[in-house]
Amino acid sequence: MTRTPSPSLLLVLGLLLAACGSRPTPTVVTSQPAAPAAGPETEAVADSPAQTVQSTSDGGLTQAGQLPDPNGFRWVQVATGFDSPVFMAETADQSGRLFVVEQPGQIWALSEQGETSLFLDIRDRVGSRANEQGLLGLAFHPDYVQNGYLYVNYTDRSGDTVISRFSSDANQADAGSEKILLQVDQPYDNHNGGHLEFGLDGYLYIGLGDGGSGGDPLGAGQALDTLLGKLLRIDVDNGDPYAIPADNAGGGQAEIWAYGLRNPWRFSFDMATGDLYIGDVGQGAWEEINFLPGGSAGGANFGWNYYEGTHGYQGNPPAGGDFVFPVAEYDHSSGCSVTGGYVYRGHQLEEWRGVYVYGDFCSGEIYGLLRNADGSWQNARLYDTNFLISSFGRDKHGEIYLVDRAGGIYQLQRQ
């Protein structure tokens, strides 16, 4: 999703993105089909960890002592019929609804009763002509029950990033209620980032890529006078349109909280510990997962474009530079575009408690990452699939879902 795939994959994506006009309402699968485990679409695998990197910081709680045997679990389709879905979210309103974000500019609500309804339609202002443009992110305010606020990240008709707030009632968001919080010029049509999420500190975090092209020609990753190539943090409960938390990283752009990112395609906070995981898409050789323990201070530098993963890429890093290197990485023999996921904190699959689930958009491979008590990591490929993994998701119970850009939503379930 977030780097240039092979020509054959681009053809598939072009066909997916070409869908327009009227179409059937997406469908919730009430009688679940047989899961595609150990078949042509999904195959459980068990291999050696792809990468193990030592860490001395305390990342918080993990319940599982080892990665689970993937053969005991399957990805079951729970909804289908979406137009280029790229994300799934849930609210804290206890309704049990799931919200699926479509790249062209619509958000659909899926109820626990099996009903599907259009929640927000902003196709009139979203630009999604290029592969990495469109409506890319959604986050509900922690006090959504009281204020009805939701936040989106999209590229407009000029290709620039827009961070906006919308208001909603119990059933639907008001497309006319948009309040634009932040706009960022995008010099190219790729590497837009697109994710946003509230941390346990109540602040809104926003991921932006380095501006695009290839190799970071603008030097944005290491520059503190641009918002590109950064993780931003803003206080949406104060100021107009927002305030800056006092302990941000500083520099020429006050919104910056961390930097040195190429194209963060999905980051998330462990809902039990506040630990931060970032899937950062690589250039031509390495995909990476970055990690910061809960409560970390702002100012982390993840290294791009001095480094691609743990490997030198371009230029000479300054002597004594303090870089945060990835806790897991894989080369392009296993894929070409990492999709960050979530730490499992549900109750149905105790073998997965504390496991961070992530994947690769190009290959469809799904990985598990688990932090050991001594600070080291277990990381292994668990599934081979045919999914175009544009995102993962979680519900109010902490159960894990997968978003297939071909149109389906899948839940990890026990065999």
Q: Find the CATH number of the domain harbouring 301.
A: 2.120.10.30
Is pTM, for the whole model, over 0.85?
A: yes
| Position 96 in a domain | yes
Write the DSSP symbol of residue 368.
E
Distances in Å between the alpha carbon of 342 and those of 30, 175, 251, 367? 25, 29, 30, 11
Q: Look at residue 4 in the predicted model and tell me its pLDDT.
A: 40
Alpha carbon of 84 to those of 94, 122, 240, 411: distances in Å? 27, 15, 34, 18
Q: How far is CA 285 from the centre of its chain?
A: 20
| Residue 30: predicted pLDDT | 55
Domain assignment present for 2: no
**392 within some domain:** yes
**Closest to 313 in 3D by CA, of 178, 188, 222, 185:** 222
Domain count, the chain: 1
Closest C-alpha among 281, 218, 225 to residue 249: 225
pLDDT for the residue 63: 74
The answer to whether position 281 is within a domain reads: yes
| Residue span of the structural domain in which 391 resides | 7-21+41-414
Q: What is residue 61's predicted lDDT score, i.e. its pLDDT?
A: 52
Give residue 45's pLDDT.
Answer: 83
Q: What share of the chain is helix, strand, coil (3-state, %, to 5)?
A: 5, 40, 55
Instruction: Write the single-letter amino acid at 63.
Output: Q
Please, which residues bridge with residue 208 across strands? 230
Asked, for residue 331, whether it belongs to a domain, the answer is: yes
Secondary structure class of 402 (helix, strand, coil): strand
Q: Kindly state whether residue 176 falls inside one of the protein's structural domains.
A: yes
Q: Identity (one letter) of the amino acid at 38? A: A
Tell me what pLDDT residue 22 has. 58
Q: Which of 369, 360, 357, 361 is nearest to 411 (CA)?
A: 357
Cis peptide bond N-terminal to 305, omega within 30: yes
Domain membership of residue 26 (yes or no) is: no
* Lookup: tokens for 148: 């009805």
Model pLDDT, residue 106: 98
Each residue's pLDDT expressed in tens, for the chain with a length of 415 residues: 544 443 333 333 333 333 334 577 898 875 444 444 434 467 888 654 444 444 434 333 547 899 999 999 999 999 999 999 999 999 978 888 999 999 999 999 999 888 899 999 999 999 999 999 999 999 999 999 999 999 999 999 999 999 999 999 988 999 999 999 999 999 999 999 999 999 999 999 999 999 999 999 999 999 999 999 999 999 999 999 999 999 998 788 999 999 999 999 999 999 999 999 999 999 999 999 999 999 999 999 999 999 999 999 999 999 888 999 999 999 999 999 999 999 999 999 999 999 999 999 999 999 999 999 899 999 999 999 999 999 999 999 999 999 999 999 999 999 9
Contact criterion met (CB below 8 Å) for 163 and 136? no
pLDDT of residue 25: 86
- What's CA 315's distance to the chain center, in Å? 29
Considering the domain boundaries, does residue 31 fall inside one? no
What does the block give as tokens for 391?
Answer: 């995102």
